Amino acid sequence: MVTVTPRLPKPGETLRATSFDVGWGGKGANQAVAALRSSRLRSQTDHSPASAPVRMIGAVGADQFGPAMLNSLEADGMDVQGVKVIEGAQTGTAVIMVEEGTGENCILFTPGANFALTPSDALVMSGDYGDLVLFQLETPLDVVLYHIRRARASGAQVILNPAPAQALPLDIYRDITHLILNQSEAELLAHSFAPALADPSDLDALAARFIELGVRYVVVTLGAEGAFFKSAALQKMGMPGIRQAAPKVKVVDTTGAGDTFVGAYAVRVAAAGVDATDATMTRAMVFAQKAASKATQNKGAQSSIPWLNEISTEI
């Protein structure tokens, strides 16, 4: 549920909003949609060889939102057989306020059915982990950790977008192939197991903390300032990470842009395979930035996520 306002209200203040809209969202769903759309043309909503099949695992409530959301995902070509419909539970919701002048937003998330999932539920629904599994933290942490370990043991690449951010057990980092997070999430996680950095803007030092725990690739998204990439290989050679500026666009709404980045990056990672080079991963980051920038030029969460033919692929 998105409210657009001239500016974000102060505590105790009432403002007249510009507009209100209801649409589909959620980090996992948004990222799955972004992976699907960034691998196929708008007219191509099947699982043809030219596209990456995307399967979503999760839960919705048996309420007015759940079945309708699944219908929307299926219309895009999503495999939703792994999404459990839970009787008596509410579909997860988010209340979003968007500042009209900047497009920046703030979000309140109610997990609902997402937090009714158990490890055994997800195990039944997941089946084969495929080539790559993408996780967020809008489902119970024990479910996420259990399946990160199983997915990695199966040989799949694991991407974790640790949002909403929370401290993680240190041994889980060695099972994470790609860690994608924004700077505030990176600082929160790093400070949960190490002292604060003398210079919080030192992205190389920040990424190094996760690489030392076993993460192979770290991507820090920086909003309008671009993104930062560092690999274990660069760290081993004593080389700095790679910082890439964001495309310059007129921002309308940043809702869903971060999820678009993650999903678009994921589909390029899956296409590259386990033996991808740092150069390939850097190109994946640039592609993800272009997809996310395109998303910021339109209102909404899933409704703003672009298809492949809407993303500039000149990298």
Annotated binding site for K(+): 253, 255, 295, 298, 300, 304
Q: Catalytic residue among 46, 79, 142, 259, which?
A: 259
Is 259 among the residues known to form the active site? yes
- Binding site, by residue number, is 26-30, 138, 182, 221-226, 253, 255, 258-259, 295, 298, 300, 304
CA–CA separation, 301 and 194 (whole Å): 34
Instruction: Report whether the peptide linkage leading into residue 195 is cis, meaning its omega lies within 30 degrees of zero.
Output: no
What pairing do the DSSP bridges indicate for beta strands 19-21 and 2-5? Answer: antiparallel
> Mutual orientation of helices 27-37 and 66-75 as an angle, nearest 10°?
20
- Binding site for ATP, by residue number, is 182, 221-226, 258-259
Structure tokens at 144: 């996420």
- Binding site for substrate, by residue number, is 26-30, 138, 259
Structure tokens at 104: 């920046």
CA–CA separation, 251 and 100 (whole Å): 10
**Catalytic residue positions, numbered:** 259
